[in-house]
Amino acid sequence: MSTPGSAKGASGTKNNEGGKGKMGGKKELKRTSKFTEVQEALGKDGAAIFVDKKGTQNLYIDYPYHVNYIHSYAQDSPFFLGLAEGRLRGTRCEGCKYTYATPRTYCQFCGEEAKWVDLPLVGKVHSWTTCHYGSEAFLKETPYNLVIVEFEGANSVLLSRLKGCTEQDIYVGMPLVAKFAAEPKYLITDVWFEPAPGAVKR
Ligand SMILES: [Zn+2]
């Protein structure tokens, strides 16, 4: 049972304090026309002033922002639940029999419903790229290899990570095996590929 007024918007107040708690009230703020110095000062003091070409003093603050996004996989759910069980699931069109290596519950060619099928846990490199930059979640892992995987019996391909080899080891047609996270997070990163035994030629 909640006490009336117990919330008082307290969480809001707390959030608004934001930053890293480093923003000392009376501390002299860093004042600079170099933005890299502003960034540095934000990390240290939580605030800084950027003086632009016109002499305007722009106050910058370090303001962590977090969004908890409740996402539903809806009809794609069996794909992600499959990854947690060490299964790769594609779909096959009931009408034209086109087989997708990705979760697609209606056929893009004939519009018929597609049913879940298990894909082989081995495939081949169709194409690949090496990423020297990535989104925040992957930045620490750069450079890393992305691969487009072909499967026996599937008409389309799957984009995934290729681990366990260097960029120089990769070639079109390279045999691959699927690997699954021991502790699934129900994300596409729960699966990745590695070279099949003997696939690295050097
Ligand atoms: Zn179809």
Taking residues 124-153, report their average pLDDT: 94
CA of 159 to the centre of ligand 1 (A): 21
Beta strand pairing status for 30-32 and 47-51?
Answer: parallel
Summarize pLDDT for 89-130 with one digit per residue, the tens.
Answer: 999 999 999 999 999 999 999 999 999 999 999 999 999 999
> Percent of the chain scored above 70 by pLDDT?
88
pLDDT band, very low/low/confident/very high, at 27 (cuts 50, 70, 90)? confident
CA of 84 to the centre of ligand 1 (A): 28
Residue 98 contacts residue 154 (beta carbons within 8 Å): no
CA of 92 to the centre of ligand 1 (A): 8
**Residue 99 amino acid letter:** T
Confidence (pLDDT) at 152: 97
Residue 174 contacts residue 118 (beta carbons within 8 Å): no
pLDDT band, very low/low/confident/very high, at 23 (cuts 50, 70, 90)? low
CA of 112 to the centre of ligand 1 (A): 5
CA of 78 to the centre of ligand 1 (A): 20
Q: Torsions phi, psi of 90, nearest 5?
A: -115, -170
Which is nearest to 196 in space by CA: 177, 171, 169? 177
Domain boundaries, the chain: 28-64, 75-195
